[in-house]
Structures are given as structure tokens and as C-alpha cells.
Structure 1
């Protein structure tokens, strides 16, 4: 087995075992995410905590071995090490430092970087290319809309502060504090921790909520339209490629 074969296997590109290895690593990442969540459960039995710890050691061993093999077998090790996925792979192994020194427990938060590894199979996907092209197509519109949204958030923060500060000085203490209310209202979440009680404040809130619906809906509509336009532009290219390959196939059968 050559070094190139090892790289193909680890990246999921090997024709025989690549898919199996890639799927197995993704399953381990998913199980790791579940284990991270279970560790936060209060009153976890000692046996469960010990099992989760052993599983973490196993996961780290697998990813450290994978990273070492990629560095050793890569034709350009430095290029891989400093690439985006190389850095993600390294950060996925970094929690091993917590096993060596208990004072480095904060490093264990880097375990969450493993979730990003599940995007690897899609890094060359046609869907991601379409999304990239769609976002590039409407980046001007999204930029303008982002500026307008920021301006509206600021105006809403100032407005609700002017309406509610005198009535609730302990709630709407300042414009920066009111900014949290504006974000919750614009996203139509409404946590309920900052509620207007004046007539003017309630009327102003109703207006903000309607504007918030537009702020949530408009970017979605812009991106959806861009995706449809990108799909429409790609269709003639696909038909052209298909028409080119069909005569070649027919010629091969005739021979």
C-alpha cells in the first residue's frame, strides 16, 4: 500500500474502503458529540463518567493516528498542516493535552471542532458550489440589507428606550441594554425579560415586530431566488455536456 492509497483511504476517496473509513470517522464524530452532551448531565453515575472518559481517550487516539498518518503520507506535509482542514484536524487532537495536564482542561472545549470534520465529504460538492455562487451573486443586496438592518436595530433601541426608560428605569436602563430587546423583537423571539408597559412602547413594539418579519423573510427570499437563478444558469451547461457525451457513447457502440 502506497502513501497515496493511505491518503485516499483517510479522505474517503479510495474506491474500495474509502467510503467505509469516512463513514466510520463520521460515526465516531457523532458519538463524540453525544458523549460531550452526556458529560454535562448532573448526577451522572461514576461508571458512566468512567466510560465516557475511556471513550474520549479512544476517540483522541483515532484522530491523533489519523493526523499523524496524513502528515507522514502527504506529498506536501506543510501544505496540509497549514490548510483549513489540516488546522481543524490538529485542533481536534488538541484536547489530548488535557489528558497530560489537568490544568489544561479548558483545551477540551476544542473537541467541538470535530463537528466541522463532518463537512469534509461536502467540500467539493456541487451543492456547496451552487450556494457559493448564489451568495456571490447577491452579495451586494445582502450587504445593503445588512446595513439597513443594523440601522433599524439602532433606531429601535433608541425608540424603545425613549418610550420605556421613565416607566421602567430598572429594565430599559440604557440604549445598549435596549439593543437586546431590539434583537429579540426583530427576530420575533420575544424572550419576555424586557416587556414594554406604556401605550407608546407597545405601539412601537408592534411596528418593530412587523419590520422584524421582513428582516427575517427578505434575506431568505433573496438567497432562494439566487439559488434558483444559479440552477437555471447551470442547466444549459449540463445539457451541453450531456449532448457532447451522447455522440461519443453512440460512436463507441457503433464501432
Structure 2
């Protein structure tokens, strides 16, 4: 979820625009958000139809025209969010700023280059689909939980990277002489390490020596424990009292803002001139 901007910084137009884009406007409510979400779903269906062979030429033309329309809408949204942002550089570099940019920029680049590489539209589609999570309370809670354990997760990724390297070197030493065409180098063995440590086990590269098999068994046993760490850490953070306190604080702020908006509407109605 995009963090709700409860700050009073910026001009009145910027504050109104932030409320409008986040679905918190007094007049329009959640309609802008619902409209954008509808466009995202329609864009996903449009992309799926673009991959269907045998459709009439006019349908492809219409679908591409719709893709351009959606890109224009998201480009306008990006510009409005950039204008309304309290800290524009922070927004540009934020995860949601990058997602908002990817929702329209790849198609513009393709149009300018004259390339018809529909393959790259998958990236465009992915960014648009991620925008659906921008107003999810559950996603907001997950993001806060991840931020609270970012140091533990950083340590995990360092340990995982070390394990990948050690596994690559180890399997190369055990298997290179027996399978010189498969384990040609340590970088080539990295694919085996990734598949093995994540317990996917495609079976395209397997050890055939006794030492290699024993080494592989040890690596698999270690990976089962190590790669389960992030899920446990994030789950612990999600049920942490600190996260619950943040949730309660945000709910109080939103309740207070709703009461303020209701009071403003009541005052506005009372100040309207009465006609006989």
C-alpha cells in the first residue's frame, strides 16, 4: 500500500491531488483508484489477447491502440504523483515510483524505437499488475514488517550468497574430472548450486561421484534450514506487537481524518444559503 500522506506540507492543490490519487478525496472517494485498477485488469486481458494467433488485423490494431491509451493514462498519473509528492526524488527512487514509471515508459521506448517487441510488454504488464497492490492494507503491513527486519534479511542474503559460492566451488572440485563437459568451471556450477540450494532439483546436472553425492546431500540439508529463515523472520515480524501498534496508530489517524472531513461537510452544508 502506498503510505498514506498525513502531512500538511505542500500547497492545497498538492494535498488535494494526493488525496485524489490515493482514493481519499471527499468528493470522488475511491473512484480514481478503482478506475486505475480497472485499466490494469483490462490491460492484462488485452495483452493476453495480443498473443492469440489468427485474430483479425483490426483487433490487433485496436488492442495496441488500447495499450497506448493505458500508457498515456499511467504517464499522466506518474506526472501528477510526481507533482504532488512531498519529496520528489524520494518518490522517483521508491519502489512504487519505479513501478509507476515502468507502467508506461517501456511502451514509449518501443514506440520511439519502432520495435514491435511484444516480448518486452511482459515487463510492462508486470509493473501494471504490481500497481494493484498499491492500495492493499495487507501489502502495507507486509512492507512495514519487511522494513523492521531488513537487517536480518540482509544477513540472510549474505549467508545465502556465501553458500552458493561454496557449493559451486565444492561441486566443481568433486565433479569436474568426472564430468568436464557439465561442470566446466565454478561459474558454470553456479546453476547447479542455485537449483540445489533452493531444493528445486531440475535434474539437468547431477553429481555422479561418491564424494559429489555426499557433498550434495550435505548442501541440501543445510539449504532446507537456511532458505526457510526468511519466511520465519517475516512471519515473526508480522505478528510483532510493534507492527500492531503501528496499525492501531494509523487507524486512529484515519479515523481522525474521517471525522474532520465529516465535520467539514457538515459545516459546508450549514453555510449553504436556504432558498424559500
When the two structures are superposed, what TM-score results if normalisation uses the length of structure 1?
Answer: 0.71
Q: Is the 8 A contact 1:81 1:87 kept in 2?
A: no
**1:14 counterpart SS class:** coil
Determine which structure has the larger helix proportion and give its number. Answer: 1
Matched, 1:189 2:200: yes
Match of 1:45 in 2: 55
Q: What RMSD, in angstroms, separates the aligned Cα atoms of the two structures?
A: 3.8
Q: Is the 8 A contact 1:80 1:86 kept in 2?
A: no
> Aligned match of 1:121 in 124, 135, 143?
135
Unpaired segments ≥5 residues, structure 2: 1-11, 257-276
**2:182 counterpart SS class:** coil
When the two structures are superposed, what TM-score results if normalisation uses the length of structure 2?
Answer: 0.67
**1:190 counterpart SS class:** coil
In structure 1, C-alpha distance between the alignment counterparts of 2:85 and 2:152, rounded to whole Å = 40
Shift of 1:145: 3.0
In structure 1, C-alpha distance between the alignment counterparts of 2:145 and 2:90, rounded to whole Å = 30
In structure 1, C-alpha distance between the alignment counterparts of 2:248 and 2:47, rounded to whole Å = 45
Match of 2:267 in 1: none
C-alpha distance after superposition, 1:39-88 (max 9, x if no partner): 345x34234423321321332343345456x279x567994896445665
Q: Which structure is richer in relative contact order (CA contacts within 8 A, separation 6 or more)?
A: 2
Distance change in 2, residues 1:58/1:172 (3 Å): same
Unpaired segments ≥5 residues, structure 1: 246-255
Matched, 1:222 2:233: yes
In structure 1, C-alpha distance between the alignment counterparts of 2:119 and 2:229, rounded to whole Å = 40
Match of 2:114 in 1: 102
> Aligned match of 1:142 in 119, 141, 153?
153
Q: Is the 8 A contact 1:9 1:17 kept in 2?
A: yes
In structure 1, C-alpha distance between the alignment counterparts of 2:148 and 2:85, rounded to whole Å = 34
In structure 1, C-alpha distance between the alignment counterparts of 2:102 and 2:247, rounded to whole Å = 42
Match of 2:213 in 1: 202
